[in-house]
């Protein structure tokens, strides 16, 4: 018997294909990693820095992008072939992370705190660092930033399975979209209540439930995009184009003048406003209605930075820790002059020689053959 429910029929129609490559989305990644690096270089300085305390919000731009891209991918596949999705995510993330953790284990040999270091490496590899740091601070000065990767990997495991199940069950677009929007409201309200009741900043900053807003906002944009709402609606696409510039200006102003992440007001309402602004930017970029922001988001240096942003993010914090351990009194300019170029060079090398080759099966075979691990028949 064929269902005639218009919502269910609409849900079963092929979704719009996710954007294969949109330079403006890479530009948003570039902005995200750029403000995070500046933030970490400044807050790790021994001098007092009044500005850029809110550069941590670059992580939330990554979350919004992840929510959008993973949602559109699952919709385009209609919830099928999740095994292929999981394999691609593994080969995209695991090799560069393994390279970093291997280096960290080697430099930790003989260190007085090598036990703690190995434990941090294990938590990072197991993708539970966000949970452990939410309840048991302090966090590692070398690997503590990998909490956000743990949050994303957990999302990659849970959300595709949930969305695929909903699609296979024939749930309507309205039901799915309402459920995600409700989850967004719930996590924002929970974060506000916890802040009002004196929850620690690390509970609010690291925990999966309190930092899910960016991922959920990206999911909402991804659902609207994948189901063609931006094409059909007379409001959504033009609205994203008009609001893109105010959103970008608002994010920039918050990065420069916003509070440190230990401020309770961050978790009452400011984080919610930031991820909504990020969702507007992603919507404008994905629908090619970025207006006056598009030339900025598509600037070649920013796009390149976005393409190597994953490894820039992985390496810049350990490099800061190494520099400060060797030269504790180093000045801000000297520290930046070492950390920023070194992060970019390592990221380029990782992207060129590890990440891109390992994304395809043919690339993996070529790379393994070069290093002497060519596949051989068993038996």
* 5 pLDDT above the threshold of 60: no
* 375 pLDDT above the threshold of 60: no
pLDDT in tens, 239-279: 999 999 999 999 999 999 998 898 999 999 999 999 999 99
Contact (Cβ atoms closer than 8 angstroms) between residue 177 and residue 220: yes
The pLDDT of residue 44 is 67
* 17 pLDDT above the threshold of 70: no
The pLDDT of residue 290 is 58
Report, as an integer, the average pLDDT of 149-157. 97
Structure tokens that stand for 181 in this block: 């929007």
More confident residue, 331 or 291: 331
More confident residue, 21 or 375: 21
Burial grade of 301 (CB within 10 A; 0-12, 13-18, 19 or more)? exposed
Burial grade of 332 (CB within 10 A; 0-12, 13-18, 19 or more)? middle
Q: Can the peptide bond before residue 138 be classed as cis, meaning omega within 30 degrees of 0?
A: yes
The pLDDT of residue 11 is 43
Please name which of 201, 327, 192, 195 lies closest in space to residue 261, comparing C-alpha atoms. 201
* 50 pLDDT above the threshold of 50: yes
Report, as an integer, the average pLDDT of 21-27. 91
* 149 pLDDT above the threshold of 60: yes
pLDDT tier for residue 84 given thresholds of 50, 70 and 90: confident
Exposure on the CB side of residue 110, measured as CA atoms within 13 A: 2
Q: At what angle do helices 58-76 and 147-168 cross, to 10 degrees?
A: 30
* 77 pLDDT above the threshold of 90: no
Q: How far is the C-alpha of 139 from the C-alpha of 133, rounded, in Å?
A: 6
Q: How far is the C-alpha of 356 from the C-alpha of 95, rounded, in Å?
A: 10
What's 355's DSSP letter?
A: I
Contact (Cβ atoms closer than 8 angstroms) between residue 71 and residue 216: no
pLDDT in tens, 187-198: 999 999 999 999
Report, as an integer, the average pLDDT of 325-351. 95
Q: How far is the C-alpha of 42 from the C-alpha of 51, rounded, in Å?
A: 9
pLDDT tier for residue 303 given thresholds of 50, 70 and 90: very high
Contact (Cβ atoms closer than 8 angstroms) between residue 138 and residue 306: no
Q: How far is the C-alpha of 368 from the C-alpha of 372, rounded, in Å?
A: 6
Q: At what angle do helices 213-226 and 271-286 cross, to 10 degrees?
A: 30
Report, as an integer, the average pLDDT of 82-106. 94
More confident residue, 348 or 6: 348
pLDDT tier for residue 287 given thresholds of 50, 70 and 90: confident
Percentage of the residues of the chain whose pLDDT score is greater than 90: 74
More confident residue, 374 or 137: 137
* 226 pLDDT above the threshold of 90: yes
The pLDDT of residue 354 is 92
pLDDT in tens, 125-147: 999 999 999 987 778 899 999 99
Averaged pLDDT of the chain: 89
∠ CA 221-227-230, nearest 5°, is 60
């Amino acid at each position: 018997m064929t269902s005639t429910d218009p919502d269910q029929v609409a849900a079963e129609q092929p979704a719009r294909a996710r954007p294969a490559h949109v330079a403006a989305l890479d530009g948003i990644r570039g902005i995200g990693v750029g403000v995070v690096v500046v933030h970490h270089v400044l807050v790790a300085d021994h001098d007092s820095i009044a500005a850029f305390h809110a550069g941590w919000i670059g992580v939330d731009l990554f979350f919004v992008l992840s929510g959008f891209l993973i949602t559109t991918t699952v919709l385009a596949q209609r919830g099928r072939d999740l095994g292929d999705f999981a394999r691609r995510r593994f080969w995209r993330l695991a090799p560069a992370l393994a390279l970093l953790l291997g280096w960290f284990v080697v430099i930790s040999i003989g260190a007085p705190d090598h036990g703690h270091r190995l434990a941090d490496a294990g938590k990072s590899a197991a993708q539970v660092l966000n949970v452990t740091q939410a309840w048991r601070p302090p966090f590692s000065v070398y690997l503590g930033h990998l909490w956000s990767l743990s949050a994303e990997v957990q999302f990659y495991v849970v959300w595709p399975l949930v969305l695929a199940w909903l699609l296979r069950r024939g749930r309507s677009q309205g039901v799915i979209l309402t459920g995600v929007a409700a989850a967004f409201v719930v996590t924002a309200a929970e974060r506000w209540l916890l802040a009002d009741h004196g929850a620690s900043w690390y509970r609010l900053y690291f925990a999966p439930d309190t930092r899910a807003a960016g991922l959920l906002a990206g999911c909402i944009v991804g659902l609207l995009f994948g189901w063609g709402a931006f094409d059909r609606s007379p409001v959504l696409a033009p609205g994203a184009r008009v609001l893109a510039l105010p959103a970008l200006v608002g994010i920039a102003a918050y990065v420069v003048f916003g509070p440190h992440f230990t401020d309770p007001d961050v978790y009452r309402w400011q984080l919610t406003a930031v991820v909504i602004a990020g969702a507007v930017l992603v919507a404008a970029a994905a629908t090619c209605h970025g207006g006056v922001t598009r030339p900025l988001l598509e600037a070649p240096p920013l796009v390149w930075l976005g393409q190597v942003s994953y490894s820039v993010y992985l390496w810049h914090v350990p490099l800061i820790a190494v520099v400060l351990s060797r030269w504790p009194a180093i000045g801000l300019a000297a520290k930046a002059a070492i950390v920023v170029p070194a992060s970019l060079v390592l990221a380029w090398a990782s992207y060129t020689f590890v990440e891109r080759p390992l994304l395809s099966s043919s690339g993996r075979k070529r790379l393994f053959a070069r290093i002497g691990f060519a596949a051989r028949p068993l038996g």
